[in-house]
Amino acid sequence: MRYIFQRLVLEILIKAPTEHILLNQVDATKSVYLFTHGRSDLEASATSALVANGFAKEKIVSAKADAVGTVGDYMAMLWMPPTPDQIKIQKITKVEAVKAEGMIGLWKGVSKEDLFIIPLK
């Protein structure tokens, strides 16, 4: 009986969407840089989705090419352009000084790790 219970719990965790497992790791005190990839029409719905998933509304910042976040901050990208249906959440792990280039700008020097995905509703 114990084996069956352990197997059931493991099966639930394996089938659970990643975002539900990782949301408790969100640090609401950190800034979240929102990348809309030119889809400003989706900024309000993306902000609502982020807030609904644990991010502080006052910490959500529109990403700009000439200013980057710091280690520990988050990046939230509407994904996959040009018709995004989700938000990819990443955590900034390293920031190096670089010469700004094109649309990417200073973000070229930012290293990050993927955390989870939030559906864009």
The tens digit of pLDDT for each residue in 18-62 reads 444 445 579 999 999 999 999 999 999 999 999 999 999 999 999
- Domain tally for the chain? 1
**Average pLDDT, integer, range 2-18:** 44
Matching residue, tokens 């609502």: 48
**Average pLDDT, integer, range 71-76:** 98
Three-state DSSP class for 117?
strand
Q: Are 78 and 36 in contact (CB under 8 A)?
A: yes
The tens digit of pLDDT for each residue in 101-119 reads 898 999 999 999 999 999 9
User: pTM for this structure?
Assistant: 0.79
Task: Identify any residues that bridge with 33 across adjacent strands, giving them in sequence order.
Answer: 61, 75
Closest by CA position to 49, among listed 16, 78, 27: 78
Residue 65 has pLDDT above 90, yes or no: yes
Q: State the residue range of the domain holding 30.
A: 2-119
